[in-house]
Structure 1
Amino acid sequence: MRIDDMSVDQLMELNRYICQRIHELRDQENLQALSQLRVGLKVTFEGREGPLLGIVTKINRKSVIVLAEDGTKQYKVSPGLLRPLRDVK
């Protein structure tokens, strides 16, 4: 069936299905990302001011609290946006 041939009710049902599937996929991605994080881990993420460095201070079900490297700010970040830093020797 073509989308152009669908009624408003059919389109609304399709929209609900698509939104539900997107939600499920994002939940899977967040669980995968959360499994790689731990309190005290140094991470980087893209903030409004550009790339930021910080330390994970708390892990919630859907978000992670990151303390800025300089200790002045805390950020509530989606786990999928965080990238663990590797130790450089």
Structure 2
Amino acid sequence: MRIEDMSIDQLLELNQTICRRIDELRDQENLQALSQLRVGLKVTFEGREGPVLGIVTKINRKSVIVLGDDGRKQYKVSPELLRPLRDVK
């Protein structure tokens, strides 16, 4: 069936199906990213002013609280945006 031949009701149903699938995929990505994190882990992410370094202080279902490396600013970040840092020895 061509999209041009679909009724409004059919298009709305298709839209709901697509939105549900997008939500499922995002939830999977979120869970995968969360499984890589733990409190105390050093991470980096791209902030508004550039790269931010920090430490994970709290892990929620859909967000992670990161304390900036300056110890003063906290960030609420989506887990899939965080990249763990490896210790250099």
The TM-score bracket by the shorter chain reads over 0.9
Written as runs of structure 1 = structure 2, the 5 A alignment for 1:20-31 is 20-31=20-31
State the 4+ residue runs in structure 1 displaced beyond 2 angstroms. none
Note the C-alpha offset of 1:68: 0.4
State the percentage of identical aligned residues.
87
Note the C-alpha offset of 1:4: 1.0
Written as runs of structure 1 = structure 2, the 5 A alignment for 1:3-82 is 3-82=3-82
Instruction: Number of aligned residue pairs: give it.
Output: 89
Q: What per-residue deviation string (whole Å, max 9, x for no partner) do you get for residues 33-71 of structure 1?
A: 000000000000011111111100000011000000101
- The RMSD of aligned alpha carbons is 0.6
Provide the secondary structure at the position in 1 that maps to 2:40: coil
Alpha-carbon distance in structure 2 between the residues aligned to 1:58 and 1:28: 20
**Letter matched to residue 39 of structure 2:** V
Alpha-carbon distance in structure 1 between the residues aligned to 2:73 and 2:6: 50
Provide the secondary structure at the position in 2 that maps to 1:57: strand
Structure 1 segments unaligned to the other structure (5+ residues): none
**Letter matched to residue 47 of structure 2:** G
Alpha-carbon distance in structure 2 between the residues aligned to 1:48 and 1:3: 39
